Amino acid sequence: MAKGPKKNTSGRGQRDLTVRVKTAKGRKLSSTLWLERQLNDPYVRRAKADGYRGRAAYKILELDDRARFLVPGARVIDLGCAPGGWCQVAVARTNALGEKPGKKIGRIIGVDLQEIDPIPGAEIHQLDFLADDADEKIKGWLGGQADVVMSDMAASSSGHKQTDHIRIIALCEAAAELAFDVLAPGGTFVAKVLAGGAEGELQKRLKQAFTKVENVKPPASRADSSEKFVLATGFRGRPDGEAPAGD
């Protein structure tokens, strides 16, 4: 199991461990608070020590510890992969670099709007996932079925909670459509959503397509965040046997 950062339970030196950041001239208070939170976040510090590109790596580690879908030999599509932490975890756990003798070698395909630095063991593509031909391109790169489709995508924040919720559900629905098209039987779909009430139809369709559907908030997800992850395992086929979109 991936272990979370150790807590200081002694009470001694607790105040001294907290980094305070003064608001610099020209910098918004919100930016100062964000910087202060980052500096004091044990997962941020641990990510630097472990060589991950961001604290989000621990979210997929914890989700995989729960359901064990990133197994050696797995074929994985990572949507919205920047900055690359989820790909790094997937490379190691699926043995994409072939570093585990006798184990199957996985394949990782990462997709994102922005260009990101190469990740050893992963094939990275810069692509607008919502473009008309995106699904066909991704399926072509994969060259077959996937075992896992995972998404940490999030729309830019509008500052309006319900609007942001609807936007991220739309991204999740688009990711699910790709999963329905490319997953092999028994495959896994995992994607970030925000609590808010608009995910009813998505949940309904996922329950028709997968053996088990859970809503999980991993320990690495900040307590004050409304994010959670839908974890769907045991792919059975498109909901109610419907034809792929566009057919």
Residue type, 180: F
Q: Which of 117, 115, 112, 148 is nearest to 131 (CA)?
A: 112
102 is in an annotated binding site: no
Single out the catalytic residue among 192, 207, 212, 228: 192
Query: Contact, 156 vs 214, CB < 8 A?
Result: no
41 is in an annotated binding site: no
Q: Which two tokens stand for residue 33?
A: 């608070």
147 is in an annotated binding site: no
- Tokens 């739309």 correspond to 170
Query: Contact, 233 vs 188, CB < 8 A?
Result: yes
Rounded CA-CA distance 218/19 in Å is 25
Rounded CA-CA distance 72/61 in Å is 14
84 is in an annotated binding site: yes
Q: What are the residues whose beta carbons fall under 8 Å from the beta carbon of 192, sequence distance 6 or more?
A: 151, 152, 153, 154, 168, 172, 227, 228, 229
16 is in an annotated binding site: no
Whether 139 is a known active-site residue: answer no
The alpha carbon torsion through 201, 202, 208, 214 (nearest 10 deg) reads -120
Residues marked as catalytic: 192
Binding residues: 84, 86, 112, 128, 152
Binding residues for S-adenosyl-L-methionine: 84, 86, 112, 128, 152
